[in-house]
Structure 1
Amino acid sequence: MNRLSEEEFHREAAEFLGSYTTRRSGGTGRPVWGQGDDRVSVVAERAEGEQEEIARLKDYRAALDRAGLSWINGPAAYGGRELPTPYATAFRELESQYDLPDDGYTRFSVSTFCPALLTHGSDFLKTTYLRRLRTAELLACQLFSEPGAGSDLAGLATRAERRGDGWVLNGQKVWSSGAHYSDLGLCIARTNRDAPKHSGLSTFLVDMRAPGVEIRPIRQLTGGASFDEVFLTDVYVADDHRLGEVDQGWRVVVDVLLNERGAIGLESGLDEEFLARLVDLVRHTGAAGDTRIRDALADLHIRSWAARETTARMLAAGTPGPELAVTKLILTDLLRRAGDIAADVLGAALVADTGEWGTYAWSELILGLPGLRVGGGTDEIMRNAVGERVLGLPKDAR
């Protein structure tokens, strides 16, 4: 079979995107000051219009599937195109030039869960769910963290007990991003109380609308509610919805967390649109002549470029490993630095909404950053992972 050249694929992809939507600012990826949505948040946590944005995203993902672009490097058996990974990377870069819906609502489903399901799921689960997750027909969330088991995830208390041909789950999960709009939840629960804490765990695919599932959104500083508490009370899950072997769920969890860090890593460098918005803000506020601000902007651009190159080198090396924890640390550091620049030049306009386009909008980014520093593993845990598992330093006292 003849494989498309990269040039042929680029033409095909550009033709599809051009027929589906319009290019941003003449296709440069650079916004025009005063035009369009002025949000700069990198977290999908809209206080308003969430369902409308999800509907837009579902329509787009379905269109991608019809065009053979929903899983460019995925297996054909589940709707994939089986093209090399660089083709998928090139398509993401091309997408950034077009006006498309916020893909944050499918980030876990597509970038994190699908690879784990492909590795650990039965043929039944893969056939039933992979394509539907890639097309956003179904949305998924992660049911890992608990009130008493966040950073120490293996200390979780949610339990799963055998009941006939399935399992009954009881427990509480917290900080579950997008649980309130998800159809499925990947849940880890203890199935063997006598085993060491990293053993005796199993993973299940839970119907988020099943009897006994209660979801309570957690309101955040931004006004949005992207995180949820999830209570499981006698929730029945058939055994064919278990991922991996019984009592071997930690293997699934590790793969999910590595995939999650890899997905975050793909965005470890701030994109050109974001950086351009920040530069335009500096110009608009009259701070472009301030050498201190100019130095901070130059430093941010250099760090962002270095982040993209570092991540590309890590991903090109093969299967994502613990070193990808570095990419999440880089991303949160870059966003903090960007927020500091915005706060410096805006002053009171950061916290007092004057109605002026592109100013108060930066407050959402700054208020949402603490949540990003916790999601996917806290910055402190990421530093431990790098120190212990990458650099080989002595383990932190526990």
Structure 2
Amino acid sequence: MTQPAVEEFTAQAADWLRLHADPKPAATAANGNADRIAWGEGPFSVSVFHDMSHDEESDLLERLRSWNQLKATQGYHAVRWPVAQGGLGLSAAHARAYSRLEREFEVPDSHELFSVTVGLMAPTVRAFGTPEQKERFIGDLLRTDLYCCQLFSEPGAGSDLASLGCRAVRDGDEWIVNGQKVWSSGAQFADFGLLIARSDPDQPKHKGMTAFMLPFDLAGVTVRPIKQMSGGTSFNEVFFDDVRLGDELRMGDEGEGWKVALTTLGFERDHSASGGSGGGRRPGGSWRQLRSTAEVLGVTDHPVVRDAMMRLYLHLQSEGHLNRRAADLARGGTPGPEGSLGKLKWTEGMRLMSDVISQILGPRLVADTGEWGAYAWGEHVLGAPGYRIAGGSDEVQRNIIGERVLGLPSEPRVDRGIPWKDVPR
């Protein structure tokens, strides 16, 4: 089937959006520059992790689900996905055009559980699921009829994820799961979790794991929210006590859990859908929020501030070009080591933004003067360091690039080839 031109597609999407959403207020700048926001209007959010009560967070996820399901009636929720899975089967250019267009309208802010469900879990099921699993899960995940989180990290297995110890023991056509996961974003609201568990302790640590799609309504699953220093409870710890799940929920072959985990983490490190220096909502705020803050405070003529802003802008521009390149390389498949470079650029951009906004705001960053768009930046500064760990630490990303791109020798490991049960802990 011939694809519509991007311009034709965008015009049709704009007509649909105008029927179902309100346009955002025009920028206060006289020339309407897209790098500026309507200062003082509506909420000002630059948080990295949500700072909401349980009810507020639940309400946001329901509004996101409702909006996504409305988009699904037209296929706008999955522009690049095949028609058979509810999408439109169009190109990356069409998907980018729709994303840019939607940012011009008042729609619910995103949430990490939403992004994980659509951007990580659905592609992982596509990569490893059986035909029955794809039929069961992909459409529901893309429409967010189901929310699904990651169940990867453990108290003793963070950056060294392969050392995880949550056990899955086979019992006929079922598996019995015991153990704990931690830092599971959105678990308290999830319907399913992608679980990586130790299924064979006699194998070396990278080989004895298996992946499962685990329903949260099973007996023996307990979710406990973790209070963050920024105020919210997006993170959770999850406990499994003799949880029984059927083998039909196993994702990929038995013992292939590390491969499944790497694939999911590749999608997590791939920020090809991010807007670079564009004006869309991104964790930690956008370039135009920072620029508008600087202009309102009248510091854009200060040479030091201008130099810092220039360096941040160039970084965000290069980040956007890198992500576009990574998306072209992936071509709908699984991201390669270029995802690690994108992840490093992302976290470095977070750090640079923290430094620049600290210069711009000065004492306003730590003393609440009541000014719109000032003290709120503290949530960015508190949350940004977390992205240096999430999805694999910066050090892990550098190792991946060094070994898989530059061909450097692997890091020395004392546990290489040793059965997991014999590794000192």
TM over 0.5, yes or no? Answer: yes
Write the distance in 1 (CA, Å) between the matches of 2:35 and 2:297: 22
Match of 2:23 in 1: 23
Confirm or deny that 1:311 pairs with 2:323: yes
Structure 1 position 348, deviation (Å):
2.3
Is the 8 Å Cα contact of residues 169 and 199 (structure 2) preserved in structure 1?
Answer: yes
The 3 A distance-change label for structure 1 pair 240 and 357 is same
Q: Deviations over 1:265-321 (max 9, x none)?
A: 432724335212211211222322210001111111111111111221122123420
Q: What is the TM-score of this pair, normalised by structure 1?
A: 0.95
Percent sequence identity over aligned pairs: 39
The 3 A distance-change label for structure 1 pair 87 and 173 is same
How many pairs align? Answer: 397
Structure 1 position 118, deviation (Å):
0.8
Letter in 1 for 2:62: A
Write the distance in 2 (CA, Å) between the matches of 1:47 and 1:69: 30
The 3 A distance-change label for structure 1 pair 149 and 304 is same
Structure 1 position 230, deviation (Å):
0.7
**1:82-101, aligned counterparts within 5 Å?**
82-101=89-108
SS in 1 for 2:78: coil
Confirm or deny that 1:53 pairs with 2:56: no
Match of 2:338 in 1: 323
Is the 8 Å Cα contact of residues 268 and 327 (structure 1) preserved in structure 2?
Answer: no
Write the distance in 1 (CA, Å) between the matches of 2:14 and 2:118: 21
Match of 1:114 in 2: 122
Q: Deviations over 1:321-375 (max 9, x none)?
A: 0121111111111121111121222222212222221111101111111222211
The 3 A distance-change label for structure 1 pair 99 and 42 is farther
**1:185-204, aligned counterparts within 5 Å?**
185-204=193-212
The 3 A distance-change label for structure 1 pair 218 and 343 is same
Q: Deviations over 1:36-63 (max 9, x none)?
A: 1111124345347212211210111001
Structure 1 position 85, deviation (Å):
2.6
Match of 1:226 in 2: 234
Is the 8 Å Cα contact of residues 303 and 334 (structure 1) preserved in structure 2?
Answer: yes
Deviating more after overlay: 144-153 vs 74-83: 74-83
Q: What is the TM-score of this pair, normalised by structure 2?
A: 0.89
Write the distance in 2 (CA, Å) between the matches of 1:131 and 1:82: 14
Write the distance in 2 (CA, Å) between the matches of 1:91 and 1:29: 19
Match of 1:37 in 2: 43
Match of 2:79 in 1: 72
Write the distance in 2 (CA, Å) between the matches of 1:214 and 1:266: 33
Confirm or deny that 1:151 pairs with 2:154: no
Write the distance in 1 (CA, Å) between the matches of 2:51 and 2:192: 19
Letter in 2 for 1:139: Y
SS in 2 for 1:25: coil
Is the 8 Å Cα contact of residues 37 and 292 (structure 2) preserved in structure 1?
Answer: no
Of the three residues 230, 240, 243, the one matched with 2:248 is: 240
SS in 2 for 1:361: helix
Deviating more after overlay: 139-148 vs 89-98: 89-98
Is the 8 Å Cα contact of residues 226 and 235 (structure 2) preserved in structure 1?
Answer: yes
Match of 2:417 in 1: none
